[in-house]
Amino acid sequence: MQPTDADGFPIGRHPGWPARLGPLITSRGAVALRPPRLADAGAWSRTRLSDREYLQQWEPTAFGGWQERNSRMAWPAQWTALRGMARRGQMLPFAITVDGAFAGQLTVGNVVRGALRSAWIGYWVASGKAGGGVATAAVALATDHCFRRVGLHRLEATVRPENDRSVRVLEKSGFRREGLFKRYLDVAGAWRDHYVYALTTEDVPDGAVHRLIRTGGASRP
């Protein structure tokens, strides 16, 4: 039987996973990334339900009601799916924490090896922790981990043009806008245009965290 860590993830299954990253100090507190836990059910559900209006406008249209999909009982199935994809090397799922408390999620998905060595990155942060550099710090931590320990060369992110806050996160993290995907994703019941942003290792030779600290967006403890 393969040994697992405290969160139930197998050790050494693929480069860079499982991992705990950070912290970085922001105006909201100490931001860190860790694997999601089954015990996150309560905090995850409370946050998602209370932030429905804030989150739903940016997320892909899905079957079932918001209440049902984000109930405490829905988390075990999601956690199991995330763990399965992480074990197969397809994804790096993280919980975002602020001062040790659950504050959102960051996912590096569709991990492709070989000549491409690419993945996409997505994230959400609780409304009470938004606007204080939390998402930017989380993206910087994940970016450096992907480019260094995981061995990726390129990260991509898509964002609706109307989502000014998420656009700022990506641009502060060094991502460049490469184009516009027309009617790219079904969000909130309609096909929405999305900007595509990308970053490669050559864009941040000293690392995304170093860049963020240099520009005053965060500091080390």
Across all residues in the chain, what is the average pLDDT?
92
Q: Assess if residue 101 is contained within a domain.
A: yes
Q: Assess if residue 12 is contained within a domain.
A: no
Q: What is the DSSP string of 180-199?
A: EEEEEEEETTEEEEEEEEEE
190 DSSP β-pair partners:
187
102 DSSP β-pair partners:
97
CB 203 within 8 A of CB 164: no
30 backbone dihedrals φ, ψ, rounded to 5°: -85, 115
Q: What is the DSSP letter of 150?
A: I
Name residue 33's amino acid.
Answer: L
Q: Assess if residue 221 is contained within a domain.
A: no
61: pLDDT strictly greater than 90: no
What is the per-residue pLDDT for 114?
87
Q: Assess if residue 154 is contained within a domain.
A: yes
- Measured CA to CA, the distance from residue 95 to residue 105 in angstroms comes to 5
Provide the domain count of the chain.
1
Report H helices in 8-133.
41-50, 52-56, 66-69, 75-87
- Comparing C-alpha atoms, which of 117, 162, 159 is closest to residue 14? 117
Percent of the chain predicted with pLDDT > 70: 94
Report residue 9's pLDDT band, with 50, 70 and 90 as the boundaries: very low
What is the per-residue pLDDT for 16?
86
Q: Pull the structure tokens for residue 202.
A: 């050559």
What is the per-residue pLDDT for 189?
86
- Measured CA to CA, the distance from residue 143 to residue 9 in angstroms comes to 21
Q: Which of 2-6, 44-48, 119-123, 200-204 is least confident? A: 2-6
Query: Which region, left, alpha or beta, applies to residue 91 given φ > 0 means left and ψ of -120 to 50 means alpha?
Result: beta
What is the per-residue pLDDT for 178?
97
- Measured CA to CA, the distance from residue 106 to residue 148 in angstroms comes to 18
Report residue 3's pLDDT band, with 50, 70 and 90 as the boundaries: low
Report residue 13's pLDDT band, with 50, 70 and 90 as the boundaries: low
Report residue 6's pLDDT band, with 50, 70 and 90 as the boundaries: low
Please state the rounded mean pLDDT for residues 120-132. 94
Q: What range does the domain containing 155 cover?
A: 21-214
Name residue 163's amino acid.
Answer: N
Q: Assess if residue 207 is contained within a domain.
A: yes
CB 138 within 8 A of CB 123: yes
Q: Assess if residue 50 is contained within a domain.
A: yes
Please state the rounded mean pLDDT for residues 68-87. 94
What is the per-residue pLDDT for 188?
84
- pTM value is 0.92
Report residue 172's pLDDT band, with 50, 70 and 90 as the boundaries: very high
- Measured CA to CA, the distance from residue 154 to residue 110 in angstroms comes to 12
Q: Assess if residue 26 is contained within a domain.
A: yes
Q: Assess if residue 16 is contained within a domain.
A: no
CATH number at residue 178: 3.40.630.30
What is the per-residue pLDDT for 158?
97
